[in-house]
Amino acid sequence: MTTLGDLWHNVLNTQPDPPHLLVIVTGVVALLVITPHRVWALTRNAVTIAHEGGHALVGVLCGRRLRGIRLHSDTSGLTLSSGKPYGAGMVLSLFAGYVTPSLLGLAGAGLLGLGRITLLLWVSLVLLLAVLVMIRNVYGAVAVLVVGAVVFFVSWFASPAAQAAFAFAGVWFLLLGGVRPIGELQRLRSRGRAPDSDADQLARLTRIPGLFWVGLFGVVNVASLLLGGYLLVVPLLRSGV
Q: How far apart are CA 71 and CA 48, in angstroms?
A: 8
CA dihedral 160, 166, 167, 169 (to 10 degrees): 140
- Alpha-carbon separation of residue 192 from 75, 202, 217 (angstroms): 19, 16, 19
- Tens digit of pLDDT per residue, the chain (241 long)? 456 566 666 666 777 778 889 999 999 999 999 999 999 999 999 999 999 999 999 999 999 999 999 999 999 999 999 998 899 999 999 999 999 999 999 999 999 999 999 999 999 999 999 999 999 999 999 999 999 999 999 999 999 999 999 999 999 999 999 999 999 999 999 999 999 999 999 999 999 999 999 999 999 999 999 999 999 998 777 665 5
pLDDT of residue 131: 97
C-alpha Rg value of the chain to the nearest Å: 18
Cβ neighbour number for residue 142 with a 10 Å cutoff: 14
Rounded to whole angstroms, the Cα distance separating 113 from 105 reads 12
Q: Measured in whole angstroms, how far is the alpha carbon of residue 82 from the centre of its chain?
A: 24
This prediction has a pTM of 0.94
Helix 160-177 and helix 20-34: axis angle, to 10°? Answer: 40
Measured between alpha carbons, how far is 58 from 27 in angstroms, rounded to an integer? 29
Give the tens place of pLDDT for each residue, 105-114: 999 999 999 9
**What are 199-222's pLDDT values in tens digits?**
999 999 999 999 999 999 999 999
Q: Are 77 and 48 in contact (CB under 8 A)?
A: yes
Residue 228 has what pLDDT?
Answer: 97
Among residues of the chain, what percentage have pLDDT more than 90? 84
193 CB contacts (<8 Å, ≥6 apart)? none
Q: What is the pLDDT of residues 7-20, one digit of tens each?
A: 666 666 777 778 88
Instruction: Pinpoint the alpha helices (H) of 135-241.
Output: 138-157, 160-177, 180-190, 198-206, 210-238
Q: Where are the domains of the chain?
A: 18-238
Q: Could you say which DSSP state residue 14 is in?
A: -
Q: What pLDDT sits at residue 100?
A: 98
Q: In sequence order, which residues have a C-beta less than 8 Å from that of residue 197 and are 6 or more positions away?
A: 185, 188, 189, 210
What is the model's pLDDT at position 14?
A: 75
Report strand pairing: 65-71 vs 77-82. antiparallel
